[in-house]
Structure 1
Amino acid sequence: MGVVIRAAGEDDRELVVRLLDEAFQDDPVSGWVFPEREYRRTTHHRLMAAFTDIVLAEGRIDVTEDGTACALWLSMPAADGDGPDGGGGGDEADDAVRLRESVDPANARVEEIARLMAESHPADRAHEYLWMIGVAPARQGEGLGSALVQHVLDRCDREGLPAYLEASSERSTKLYERLGFTYADRTLDIPDGPRMWPMWREPVTGRDRS
C-alpha cells in the first residue's frame, strides 16, 4: 500500500512542530545550535515552531495521512539582483535577527545558522527548496521520507523545476542521491560545528526517463 500524503493546514501546526522537534533532537546542526542536551530538550521546539510558521505562511507542508512524517517546502524565485550576491541580502540579515529574537534571544547561533544557510542558497534559478523533513523516530527507515520528497519531485518534473536542499549528514545524502539529487561540489561548514551538504536536482523530462 502506498503512502497517503496531504497538505497540512493551520490545524496541523502542533503536529508538525512535535514531529520536527522529535526528529531533529539528535541532528548535528540542532546539536550545534543548542549544545547542552537538557536546554535543547526544552528550547529546540521553539525553533521548529518558527520554521513551521514561516512555511505555513509562505510555502507548503506535506504530511503523511497517519501524521508520522512531514516535509517543509518553499518555492524560491530567481533572484532579482537587489542584494550583494544577487539576492535580498538586507532582508535575509533582518530575518536572521528576528528569528533569534523570537526563538532564543541570547543564542547567537540561531541567527548564525539562518545567515549561513541564506548565504549559501542558490539564487540564479527558480526552484523548490526542501527546507526540512521530519519522520517520527519510531517510523524512520520505512520509506516515509522518500515518499514525501518524491511527491513534490513528481510535480517538479511535470513543471520543469529544479529542487534544492541541504543534507545535514553524509548518511542522508545517500537517500537524496537515490532521488536524483547530486552534491553541489561545496560543503556548508559551520564554524566550530558540523558540515552540511548542499544538493541540487534537475527536473527529469520524458526523454530523461526513457
Structure 2
Amino acid sequence: MGVAIRTAGEGDRELIVRLLDEAFQDDPVSGWVFPSAEERRVKHPGLMAAFTDIVLAGGRIDVTEDGSACALWLSVPADEGHDDHAAEDEGPAMVREAVDPDNERIERIGRLTAAIHPTGRAHEYLWMIGVAPGRQGEGHGTALIEAVLDRCDREGLPAYLEASSARSRRLYERLGFELAGPVLDLPDGPSMWPMWREPRSQRSARVL
C-alpha cells in the first residue's frame, strides 16, 4: 500500500512545526545547537518554525496525508557567479535574531552548512525531513524522498542534502546519495555529511 502525499500550505504550518520539533528533539545537531535539554524543549520549536516559514515562502513542503511525516525542499538554481549573495549572507543572522539572539550556534550552523553547499548546478535541496517518533521505520520518510527523486530522474536534476546522523546517512545511501565532500565536523559537536545524488537517467546514459 502506497503512502499518500500532498503539498502543505500555510494552514499546515502548526502541524509541520510540531512534526519537526518532535522528530528532531533528539537529533545530534539539534542537541549541539541547544545543549541544555530544557532550553531545547523551550526554544527548539521556534527554530523549526523559522525553517518552516522560510520553506513555505520559497520552497515546497510535502506532507503525508495522515500527518505523520513531512519533507522540506528548496529548488536551487544554477549559480552564475556569486555576484551578490547579501540576502543569503543575512539569513543565518536573521534566524538567530528571531529565535534566540544569545545563541550564536543558531547562526553558526547556518553559515557552516551554507559554506559546504555545492554550487554551479541547479538541484533539489532536501533541507529537512521529519517523521513523528511513533511512526518511524514505516517507510513514510522514504516515500516522501522517493516522490521527489522520481521527478529529479525524469527532469535530469541532481539532489542534495546534509545527513545529520550515521543512521540517516545509511538511508540516503540506499536511495542513491553519495558523499559530496569533506565531512562537516561541528566544533565540539557531531558530524554532518554532505550528500549528492545524480539523476538516475544520466547515470544510465554514461554506462551505455
Settle same-fold status: TM greater than 0.5.
yes
The equivalent residue for 1:109 is 105
Question: What whole-Å deviation, never above 9, does each CA across 1:84-117 have from its counterpart, x for those lacking one?
Answer: xxx72x3332111111000111110000001111
The equivalent residue for 1:51 is 51
The equivalent residue for 2:163 is 167
The equivalent residue for 1:134 is 130
Question: What whole-Å deviation, never above 9, does each CA across 1:142-162 have from its counterpart, x for those lacking one?
Answer: 111000000000000111000
Question: What whole-Å deviation, never above 9, does each CA across 1:48-103 have from its counterpart, x for those lacking one?
Answer: 000000000000000000000000000001212135xxx72x33321111110001
Whether the 8 Å contact between 2:19 and 2:68 is mirrored in structure 1 is: yes
Q: Where in structure 2 are there 5+ consecutive unaligned residues?
A: none
Q: Where in structure 1 are there 5+ consecutive unaligned residues?
A: none
- Alpha-carbon offset, residue 189 of structure 1: 1.3
Query: Is the partner of 2:200 in helix, strand or coil?
Result: coil
Query: Is the partner of 1:158 in helix, strand or coil?
Result: helix
When the two chains are superposed, the root-mean-square deviation of aligned CA atoms in Å is: 1.5
CA distance, structure 2, for counterparts of residue 77 and residue 206 of structure 1: 19
TM-score (norm 2): 0.95
Whether the 8 Å contact between 1:92 and 1:115 is mirrored in structure 2 is: no
Segments ≥4 residues shifted beyond 6 Å: none
Query: Is the partner of 1:205 in helix, strand or coil?
Result: helix
CA distance, structure 2, for counterparts of residue 156 and residue 79 of structure 1: 18
- Alpha-carbon offset, residue 207 of structure 1: 7.5
Percentage of pairs with the same residue: 70
TM-score (norm 1): 0.94
Question: Aligned ranges for residues 11-160 of structure 1 at < 5 Å?
Answer: 11-83=11-83, 88=85, 90-160=86-156
Whether the 8 Å contact between 1:21 and 1:45 is mirrored in structure 2 is: yes
Amino acid at match of 1:122: P
